[in-house]
Amino acid sequence: MKENSRYVAVREVFQQFVRIFGQLQRGGAQDCGISVIQSHILYELGKRPNISLNDLAALLHTDTSSLSRQVQQLVEYGQVNRLPDPKDRRYVVLSLTAEGEQKQQYIAEFMETFLSEVFSKIPEDQHEQVFQTLEVMKTALNSTSSPCRKEPPSS
Amino acid sequence: MKENSRYVAVREVFQQFVRIFGQLQRGGAQDCGISVIQSHILYELGKRPNISLNDLAALLHTDTSSLSRQVQQLVEYGQVNRLPDPKDRRYVVLSLTAEGEQKQQYIAEFMETFLSEVFSKIPEDQHEQVFQTLEVMKTALNSTSSPCRKEPPSS
DNA sequence: AAACAATAGTTGCAAAAATCAATTATTGTT
DNA sequence: AACAATAATTGATTTTTGCAACTATTGTTT
């Protein structure tokens, strides 16, 4: 296990990723007057509209009861639509309103601005390698972590 | 700005890092009967012993009042030593007890086991590149400050 | 078709945690 | 000596979380 010591460094880097990114998300969310979890909801709904609450909870690794209340707030704020699914009325169908879309866009730009600054610190000729490596890690992570449920009943 | 679309993918990957890693940390902490923040405290104290509460709060991007209570619990659990600093008695000096060290080790192994599984999904001949890239990203992240806020979306 | 089980979502409630101001103790400064 | 500044804690209020109970709808069994 000569590589094992390297995992210590890898963990350290990941820990920093998490901390810095968490900090960023907090900033972006606060600018929009919402919580971090709510910004994740907007993000996920932007990517996968018309998802159910249950599937969203699985994606975000959170409890349905907490999520239900967070969504409730976003509905009250006018940022999320929540309608019963006509095909199976136990489900709800969640989507972004125009305003929700706007906030989601704002946060996305916020994050991407930060990332562009990060990459400006990396020599241009290494960018491609970084992108590739991140993709490699993404697929490796996905095949290691517990899988999320997909295929929502509607849509 | 031609690279901008790539940042979307980068954000996506980072978001997954954060989510999966957060999940992991929750698991490791729960195994030890402590909260996630408390596991971070143990981690940081393992790396930088004899730190003050204030400096720890800065490292963890958290409030001193919350942190004080979390530390208080860890002291009660017998995992953290908290002594007034003889050089400046406004400060406290935090460090791990033997039991705290043990928990910190357990969590570290937990994480490293996971990471070794992740890397087992990556072809051996790419490991070196991944390690290198992570280091590159680490230094880039560290030398990047949080972005200045633009004006938040209306409403 | 009626009865029963299973599922999605919501709500109630108690515990945990975050937040912000006030307080104490110590050190630095004028 | 008096005052300002800092580290840490504590109080009090509000948020958030977690678990269980509950409602409504759909699937299944007989």
The residue to which tokens 């400050």 are assigned: B145
Cα-atom radius of gyration of chain B, to the nearest Å? 19
Indicate if the pLDDT at residue A94 is higher than 90.
yes
| B62 sits in which H/E element | none
Indicate if the pLDDT at residue A69 is higher than 60.
yes
**pLDDT tens, per residue, chain B with 155 residues:** 556 778 898 988 888 888 788 878 888 888 888 988 999 999 999 999 999 999 999 999 899 999 999 999 999 999 999 999 999 999 999 999 999 999 999 989 888 988 999 999 999 999 999 999 999 998 998 888 665 455 556 54
The domains of chain A, with CATH numbers, are 4-144 (1.10.10.10)
What pLDDT is stored for residue B23 in this prediction? 79
Q: What percent of chain A has pLDDT over 90?
A: 61
How far is Cα A97 from Cα A95, in angstroms, rounded to an integer? 7
| 0.75 surpassed by pTM | yes
State whether residue A106 sits within 8 Å of chain B by CB: yes
Task: Estimate to the nearest angstrom the gap between the alpha carbon of B73 and the chain centroid.
Answer: 19
Q: Are residues B18 and A18, on separate chains, in Cβ contact within 8 Å? A: yes
Is B21 within 8 Å of B39 (Cβ atoms)? Answer: no
Per-residue tokens: B29 = 């902490």
Contacts of B73 (CB under 8 A, 6+ apart): B34, B38
Q: Are residues B108 and A24, on separate chains, in Cβ contact within 8 Å? A: no
Look at residues A115, A114, A71, A66 and name the one whose alpha carbon lies nearest to residue A92: A71
Label residues A3-17 b or e (16+ Cβ within 10 Å = b): eeebbeebbebbbeb
Q: Are residues A17 and B13, on separate chains, in Cβ contact within 8 Å? A: no
Which chain A residue has the Cα nearest residue B122?
A140
How far is Cα A61 from Cα A75, in angstroms, rounded to an integer? 21
What pLDDT is stored for residue B25 in this prediction? 84
The residue to which tokens 């909260």 are assigned: B35
Nucleotide D27: nearest residue by CA–C1'? A88
What pLDDT is stored for residue A2 in this prediction? 54
Q: For chain A, give the longest Cα–Cα distance.
A: 57
| A40 sits in which H/E element | helix A36-47
Assess whether A89 (CB) lies less than 7 A from strand D. yes
Q: For chain B, give the longest Cα–Cα distance.
A: 57
- The integer distance in angstroms from the CA atom of A72 to the C1' atom of D22 is 19
For strand D, the positions having any atom within 7 A of a protein Cβ are 6-11, 15-21, 24-27
Mutation pick from A48, A117, A134, A148 vs chain B, by most beta carbons of B within 10 Å, is: A134
Indicate if the pLDDT at residue A148 is higher than 50.
no
Assess whether A37 (CB) lies less than 7 A from strand D. yes
Indicate if the pLDDT at residue A153 is higher than 50.
no
